[in-house]
Amino acid sequence: MEKIDMNLVITNPYTSWSEHDELDRNQLLAHFPHSVPVATSYNEMDYVNEWLVKAVGSKGNNWESIFYYKQDYDFGYAEYFFLKKDFLITFENEIPKVYGVFFNGKKLKTNCEGKYFDVD
């Protein structure tokens, strides 16, 4: 998982950002005003979703997320939204530690280009 600029999602030639996407994002920002867009894999999101419940509380009350686009087999762009700035800071500090665990037990991390790297 890697923090990215939201413009990467909106202007990416492989995505088709729409008014519907903008509306969904704005509705979430109205309730959860602090957000961070990320490039991520599904495995990393699974880990993060479990971790967030433990770290900041339940989804829907303290945080929410949108997976915008699948750019490769299991890689794409998401955005995490938080009720409090403290929750955002906690999440941003965790991002460098996030990795996915695959069926064979390998621990891998993605960068914003969807390339995987072994986790030491």
The number of distinct structural domains making up the chain is 1
Span 21-46, pLDDT tens digits: 899 999 999 999 999 999 888 888 88
Identify the domain containing residue 25 by its residue range: 2-118
At 113, the pLDDT band (50, 70, 90 cuts) reads low
Instruction: Name the token pair of 40.
Output: 């991520």
* Euclidean distance between CA atoms 52 and 7, whole angstroms: 25
Instruction: Name the token pair of 118.
Output: 């072994």
Q: Of 61, 62, 120, which Cα lies nearest the Cα of 91? A: 62
Q: How many Cβ atoms from other residues are within 10 Å of residue 108's Cβ?
A: 16
More confidently predicted of 23 and 9: 23
Q: Cβ distance 63 to 83 under 8 Å? A: yes
Helix (H/G/I), strand (E/B), else coil: 56 = helix
pLDDT at 45: 87
Q: What angle do CA 63, 73, 76 make, to 5 degrees?
A: 35
What is the per-residue burial (b if ≥16 Cβ within 10 Å, else e) of 56-95?
A: beeeeebbbbbebeebeebbbbbbbbbbeeebbebbeeeb
